[in-house]
Chain A
Amino acid sequence: MDRLSKLENDSIYIIREAYYQFKDTAALWSIGKDSTTLLWLIRKAFFGEIPFPVIHIDTTYKFKEIYEFREKYAKKWRLKLLVCKNQTALDNGVCPKNGKLNCCSELKTNTLKQAVKRCGLRALYLGIRRDEHGIRAKERFFSPRNKNFDWNYKSQPPELWNQYAAKAENEEHMRIHPLLSWNEIDVWRYIRREKIPVVRLYLASKGRRYRSIGCAPCCAPVKSGAGTIDKIIEELQKSKISERGGRAQDKESAYMMQKLRSLGYM
């Protein structure tokens, strides 16, 4: 079995295992390439119909291409789409200009906290990967979070031999990470193989493209001539700049991601 098929089959196993344990669940869809790949795998796991809601945490600062993509594929894939915003924070003027850490934590983390509580979710599927960021390399496939969304990375449950019976003290919900073993180029190769649609911001236009997309004010494009998926894969094979190089929240300080993440950031 080739690498992509192994990754696909293993991810589907994890998705099904999580659904067996948790029915009150939802997938987080940022509309980026990873979470879109995640939805693709979930659709495969359930033979086309995702049996739970798909949540988009909408900071309202996303690129317009993201919103267009969301509308098109939510319809095409018959998703039970839930768009969640932290309206109170937005009304209070929270925005990237008034502090990035606070903005991420209010408009993303707190929005998600509200959604988890409102919908009574016991588990959340996320498309994070180990190779994205050092701290994410420490994640488990099933990773418990308490009600404050704290991630106790110093004392995580053991996980072995595809047994995910994990439950931590005071657990509030379980984060499910089916893409944990994938790396960036695997995702692109899989997108090419499966012909998965992606937001066109990933493809170069006028010599620049986005390697990672999120909120428009906090994402910078990289120099690139890669206008097709094939070219992106070729470019990544040669690249020496890491994927999240254009992401502001990873940059403010070396440990910002770690702080965000232990506070419940995705």
Chain B
Amino acid sequence: MQKPALPIVIIGDVDHGKSTLIGRLLYDTGSLPADKIKEIKEASKNLGKKPELAHLLDCLEEERKKGATIDTTQVFFKINNAEYIIIDAPGHVEFLKNMITGASQAKAAIIIIAADEGIKEQTKRHAAIISLLGIDSVIAAINKMDLVNFSQEKYNGLKEEAITALSRIQIKPLLFIPISALKGDNALKRSKNMPWHKGATISEALNLLQKKSSQRKQTLIFPIQDIYTINKKKIAVGKIESGSLTKGQTLIALPDKKTIKVRSIAKFGKKRHNAGEGESIGIITGGAIEPKRGDILSQTNEYPEITISFRATIFWMSEDSYLKNNALLIHCATQQANCKITKIHRRIDSATMQTLGENAEKINHAEIAEVTIETQNAIAACAFKNIPAIGRFVLTHEKNILSGGIITDIDKNKAG
């Protein structure tokens, strides 16, 4: 059976070689159609530039001209039958929201650091987001080793520096790899220029990440998306985020804590006896109440907390600053509630991870903040590290996503 592709985000500073590494992987795995290579050669010629591996991704006209990625892009390739999706995220500060859009879909990350420049502010900022998004499968590649004569001494120095810088933002790379994406050293093929490196190549590291991504067993989280009436029967639809459910099982609907019985499980064209994680299904129910959009169905013996207050770490993507206690809408799985940030415990510079202020009154663009959020109505929620599906949320105002975040602690004194 074919495993789903492992989504990986590549982060690093502008010009440190993210797109070049992706181009290299595509090229070396033979994932490139011949006419694409031709198209890139032609486009590069028109711009008076030499064709570059990076152009495979930086497809937009202005990206080619400026030589930088603007939005997030996804590409696929295969090594030894394992599939990967690479998400190329932009390096510029103004593209933070695109970076987050890309990175939030990733399960693993590669951090690229150019050997001639070392770890930069932007790289730390991106790594902080990776840490914030709860991605802990990280490998670090020291790129452009060709520019430092493939020096082991230089590599060791950079590695030490990166370990120190990354540990401040709670990131511990599983592996460090010296590479030259441009020349191909230690990407797919082991480098002849760096015989001193006995560790993994990028290809071997990817294989490791793929193996590490196996899923854990979890509490049932079935957020209701909508209710359809099909042949006069009401069907509650949604995607099971974690756990599983069985026909005949009694579930609890949160936040109301009412029981619901699963009379039947429907998927188009077939009746099912049970359904598991990741499945978009419909259920016909009986019991005390009818489920509605936003309900979280869970097991009666083990279900998440109901709360109107919790602590969270958020990243502020909007260009407009947020003033404490202003009205927001929180979206957590399919739940939605009016809310406000009542306390801004700490504002953090996302590049340096240094504290900008405590007990603050506002949060600015591209800042990370530790906050307390209070909701008008109770929601089912959980710390992200326990149940990711209801431990992460976005904050909106007038249908614009302003911020995203993860729950770090539920306020037990304010249970709903």
Contact = CB atoms under 8 A, between A and B. Distances in A.
Given A47-B266, A47-B282, A163-B401, A17 B225 contact: yes
Contacts of B70: 138, 153-154
Interface string A1-30: 111111011101100110110000000000
Given A135-B60, A138-B72, A6 B278 contact: yes
B74 A161 contact: no
Interface of B is mostly: mixed
A79 to B, nearest CB: 16
Contacts, number: 162
A16 B225 contact: yes
A19 B71 contact: no
Q: Which of B97, B266, B329 has the most CB of A within 10 A?
A: B97
Contacts of B60: 134-135, 138, 153, 258
A135 B105 CA distance: 19
Interface in B250-285: 266-269, 276-280, 282
Interface string A153-178: 11011111101011110000000000
B226 to A, nearest CB: 5
A100 interface: no
Interface in B7-65: 30, 32-36, 39, 42-43, 46, 56-57, 59-61
Interface in A231-266: 239-242, 245, 254-255, 258
Q: Which of A2, A43, A49, A134 has the most CB of B within 10 A?
A: A134
Nearest to A163: B394
A130 B98 contact: no
A198 B243 CA distance: 36
Q: Which of B83, B239, B266, B280 has the most CB of A within 10 A?
A: B280
A262 to B, nearest CB: 10
A9 B239 contact: yes
A46 B228 contact: yes
A183 interface: yes
A16 B280 contact: yes
A42 to B, nearest CB: 10
A138 B278 contact: no
B394 A167 contact: no
Given A3-B83, A156-B71, A158-B98, A240 B34 contact: yes
Interface residues of B, number: 66
Q: Which of A3, A140, A158 has the most CB of B within 10 A?
A: A158
A217 to B, nearest CB: 21
A131 interface: yes
B399 interface: yes
A135 B267 CA distance: 34
16 contacts: A1-B277, A3-B3, A3-B5, A16-B280, A20-B226, A47-B235, A47-B268, A134-B57, A137-B59, A137-B73, A156-B71, A158-B317, A166-B399, A166-B401, A254-B39, A258-B61
By Cβ-Cβ distance, the 5 closest A-B pairs, closest first, are: A134-B59, A167-B399, A160-B104, A242-B33, A158-B97
Interface of A: 1-6, 8-10, 12-13, 16-17, 19-20, 43-49, 130-131, 133-135, 137-138, 140, 153-154, 156-161, 163, 165-168, 181, 183, 239-242, 245, 254-255, 258
Given A1-B279, A44-B269, 6 more contacts: A20-B226, A45-B280, A161-B394, A166-B399, A166-B401, A239-B33
